[in-house]
């Protein structure tokens, strides 16, 4: 019996000791918490949709417990911000205990209300902590933008203006026999995996000073320059007469997809002028048996291919700059270019497959399609990259296969092409580095203009320019190509 009393006494003493230890709080006026940051900032938050979650930590550097008597949002229930401490959400918290030499996480989110305008808005608040008579706080700031929010909609004929940006969730489709016109200066943001689907027609009317911008909706932690942040602009086979002028299409999975594999023999068409498509996780352009005419365009940086022209079609690229060093991966930990293998600046085929479909018995079957490559012409253009082979042509021998490089700079091993073959080549320069001002965003602002020593200077054909003078007299920047009678290759005319 005495043993039982002794054991009970020992247990009681231990429990009392633990309780006493827990009650030994750091209570002096000099005893305070430490915060991991003084400011949490959210960059470009769109109204009506929540932000990503950010966090900071509360540290107790003392050997005893410390009690935060109160923690709260300064704006209280009216705040646009939301906080979560130790797994609980509220506007205010009381008597938060932090163990000795330990820490707690504080998570922050924000949702901004529409303000009806195009100008950015800035919202401020603070998380305040009261500890032993000390006041500590973390400033919260969010830079927001009011938007037209579109979620999974099919739209009819309308015009998007630059009054405020458009934010697409899930996808938007332009209905058949309807046209979406996008005016100069308009910005279109896409949430992850969202796409613009064109069953009807797309007419993009950007200008040099006010291009139309298509990009992802996330800008924090380097994501503003990360490939694959959204889907694509998809032009359906039934869609013809699409026009895009002075657009910037960046950080998509595929910048433009024109057509799709299948039994549909209709041919989608696109006129592309003065447009930059860059930093795509798969390709700048993927086309299936399409018609594309391009003037003064830049196709830059993808993980796989620049121009992926499959299953035949008809293509004419005038004064194009095609540059491939890989797609940019940028986040809080790393910034680098990634390029898969095999990948090419230009890939041409007159077939595609296998693709999968349901047969008449609703069984999954596979098929390879073959269509004629009527023409794939490149005039006064640059085709370059950091691989040894940047042009790949794959003719299955079952359909026509016609391509032609006329006055071009091409990255390709000399023994892989017979550039004396006049069926495919005229005045082609192999393996000369075009000497762009800067083709790596890691080194600074991208600039695909030619530097003073570029071998692409003055070697273009004036006859090609004159044959398409309406579109080619001036380069992307509006500089004359005919003034000196010696046009440069690519989208930019060098200015001395």
Domain map of the chain by residue range? 34-144, 147-472
Q: What digits encode the pLDDT tens for the residues 1-56?
A: 444 444 444 444 444 444 444 558 999 999 999 999 999 998 888 888 878 889 99
State the pLDDT at residue 191. 92
Backbone angle region of 490, left / alpha / beta, with phi > 0 → left and psi within -120 to 50 → alpha = left
Q: Are 348 and 392 in contact (CB under 8 A)?
A: yes
Whole-structure pTM value: 0.84
State the pLDDT at residue 12. 45
Query: CA 54, CA 251: separation in Å to the nearest integer?
Result: 23
The residues of the chain scoring below 50 in pLDDT are 1-21
Instruction: Give the H/E segment covering residue 66.
Output: strand 66-73
State the pLDDT at residue 332. 53
State the pLDDT at residue 130. 97
User: To the nearest 5 percent, what fractions of the chain are helix, strand and coil?
Assistant: 10, 50, 40
Instruction: Give the H/E segment covering residue 324.
Output: strand 321-324
State the pLDDT at residue 445. 85
Query: CA 373, CA 349: separation in Å to the nearest integer?
Result: 7
Fold (topology level) of 34-144 = Immunoglobulin-like (2.60.40)
């Amino acid at each position: 019996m005495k043993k039982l009393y002794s054991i009970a006494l020992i247990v009681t003493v231990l429990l009392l000791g633990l309780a006493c230890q827990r009650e030994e709080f750091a209570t002096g006026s000099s005893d305070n918490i430490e915060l991991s940051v003084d400011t949490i900032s959210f960059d470009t938050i769109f109204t009506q949709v929540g932000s990503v979650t950010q966090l900071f930590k509360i540290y107790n550097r003392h050997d005893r417990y410390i009690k935060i008597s109160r923690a709260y949002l300064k704006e209280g229930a009216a705040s646009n911000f939301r906080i979560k401490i130790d797994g609980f959400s509220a506007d205010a918290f009381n008597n938060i205990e932090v163990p000795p030499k330990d820490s707690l996480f504080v998570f922050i989110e924000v949702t901004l209300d529409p303000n009806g305008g195009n100008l950015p808005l800035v919202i401020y608040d603070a998380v305040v902590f009261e500890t032993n008579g000390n006041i500590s706080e973390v400033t919260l700031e969010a830079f927001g933008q009011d938007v037209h929010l579109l979620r999974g909609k099919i739209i009819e004929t309308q015009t998007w203006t630059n009054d405020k940006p458009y934010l697409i969730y899930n996808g938007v489709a332009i209905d058949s026999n309807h046209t979406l016109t996008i005016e100069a200066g308009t910005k279109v943001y896409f949430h992850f995996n969202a796409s613009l689907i064109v069953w009807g027609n797309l007419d993009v009317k950007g200008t040099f000073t006010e291009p139309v911008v298509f990009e992802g909706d996330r800008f924090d932690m380097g994501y503003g320059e990360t490939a694959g942040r959204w889907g694509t602009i998809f032009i359906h086979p039934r869609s013809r007469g699409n026009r895009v002028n002075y657009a910037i299409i960046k950080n998509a999975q595929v910048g433009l997809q024109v057509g799709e594999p299948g039994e549909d023999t209709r041919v989608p068409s696109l006129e592309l002028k003065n447009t930059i498509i860059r930093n795509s996780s798969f390709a700048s352009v993927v086309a299936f048996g399409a018609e594309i005419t391009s003037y003064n365009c830049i196709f830059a940086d993808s993980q796989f291919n620049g121009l992926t022209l499959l299953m035949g079609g008809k293509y004419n690229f005038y004064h194009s700059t095609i540059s491939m060093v890989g797609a940019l991966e940028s986040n809080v930990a790393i910034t680098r270019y990634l390029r898969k293998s095999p990948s090419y600046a230009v890939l041409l085929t007159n077939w595609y497959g296998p693709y999968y479909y349901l047969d008449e018995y609703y069984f999954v079957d596979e098929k390879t399609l073959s269509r004629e490559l009527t023409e794939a012409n490149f005039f006064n253009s640059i085709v370059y990259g950091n691989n040894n082979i940047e042009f790949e042509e794959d003719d299955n021998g079952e359909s026509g296969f016609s391509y032609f490089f006329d006055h071009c700079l091409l990255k390709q091993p000399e023994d892989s092409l017979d550039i004396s073959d006049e069926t495919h080549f005229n005045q082609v320069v192999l393996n000369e580095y075009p000497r762009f001002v800067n083709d790596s965003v890691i080194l600074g602002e991208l600039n695909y203009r030619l530097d003073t020593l570029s071998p692409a200077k003055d070697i273009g054909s004036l006859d090609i320019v004159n044959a398409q003078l309406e579109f080619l007299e001036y380069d992307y920047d509006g500089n004359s190509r005919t003034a000196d009678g010696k046009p440069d290759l690519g989208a930019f005319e060098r200015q001395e």
